[in-house]
Amino acid sequence: MALDHRITDLVANAMMNAYHTAVGDSGILRLYADAGTPDIPAGEPSAAASHGTVLAELTMNATAFGDAAASTAYSRVTAGAVTADSSANASGDTVYYVLYDAAGTTAKDQGTIGTTGCDMTIDNATIAEGAEVSCSAMTVDLPKGWTTA
């Protein structure tokens, strides 16, 4: 028999609120070019782990994510305000981020970056060294499996 595990709103929201607690607040978002390894290796690597070229670093708000909210297909946490990087580290096309703890030493999460349809929305995916880089939206979704008609 095929696997077909499904969770309810109650469980999905509890899991996403636990995610928020585990990730913590005031984290650092490092935006990377498409070089390097876009997967967090096992063992929550240090900031010295190679993920490619760091294009910019943005700082999460003191309350990084709000409480989980459910939709038909997923439970979602939405980031609070993210402080822009006033001067990008390097030039390149950014495709993913890694969210580190507030000290910038332990990776907690990663996601895609783009101008639409991604985990993190920025104004321009092509970053120029020295330019300001800002985040206009960031969400983390957990698919539920059950939908209502």
Domain ranges across the chain:
26-64+81-139
When the pLDDT of each residue in the chain is averaged and rounded to a whole number, the result is 81
Stated pTM of the model: 0.79
Tell me if 60 sits within 8 A of 116, measured CB to CB: no
Using one digit for the tens of pLDDT, what is the confidence trace for 28-77?
999 988 655 555 554 445 555 566 788 999 999 888 888 888 777 788 88
Q: What is the pLDDT of residue 39?
A: 58
**pLDDT of residue 90 exceeding 80:** yes
Interatomic CA distance for residues 55 and 40, integer angstroms: 17
Residues in contact with 63: Cβ distance below 8 Å, sequence separation at least 6, in sequence order: 25, 80
Please report the sign of the dihedral spanned by the C-alpha atoms of residue 80, residue 107, residue 142, residue 127: positive
**pLDDT of residue 15 exceeding 80:** yes
- pLDDT exceeding 70 applies to what percent of the chain? 81
